[in-house]
Amino acid sequence: MGIIKKKQILDTNIKVNFFSLLFNSFFFIGFVPVASGTVASIFALVPLVIPEFNNVAVIFLVTIIFFIISLLSAKNILRKYGDDPSIFVMDEVIGMWITAIIIKIIFEDTILLHIFIGFLFFRFFDIIKIQPAKYFDGLKNTFGVLMDDIVSGIYAGFSSSILIYIIKLIW
């Protein structure tokens, strides 16, 4: 929920396969000792500079695929490390991509500043958990962990777009 989560192992007997750990920690970014969710949100922006990925339809399709893979592969991570462990950052990646999708749909001429504004709003909403994000966070399962960041991404996408629109009116 916050910026800094303590890493812990609840059940050492539970085995987590390598792919699940690699994927859901977003290539082990989840193991960054401080603010792993924030770091993962930043790294989620990297694919957006790849021309083939920087397309709303492609981002949307990849987001859905990543959501499904995470939903199917993360159960043991939560059983081993807790309800919303700091190593599990795929939710931040998906939430950040949702934010970018909304901004890109609203503004065809999206620039890096727009996405940075989206990042700031996403981290804000991900930390404070406005309903229904708070509800999903309380589910304490993979679906809830993913959905609270999707909701935060939606809030961030629209809030960012409103601010970007205001900035464009002023300038």
pTM, full prediction: 0.92
- Predicted local distance difference test score (pLDDT) of residue 6: 59
Taking Cα atoms as reference points, which of 132, 136, 126, 140 lies closest to residue 98?
126
- Predicted local distance difference test score (pLDDT) of residue 1: 44
Output the average pLDDT for the chain: 92
Q: How do the domains of the chain map onto residue ranges?
A: 18-170
CA distance 160 to 60: 18
Helix, strand, coil % in the chain, rounded to nearest 5: 65, 0, 35
Taking Cα atoms as reference points, which of 118, 95, 96 lies closest to residue 106?
118
- Predicted local distance difference test score (pLDDT) of residue 124: 97
- Predicted local distance difference test score (pLDDT) of residue 12: 80
Reported as half-sphere exposure (CB side, CA atoms, 13 A), residue 147 has a value of 14
| Over residues 83-104, mean pLDDT | 95
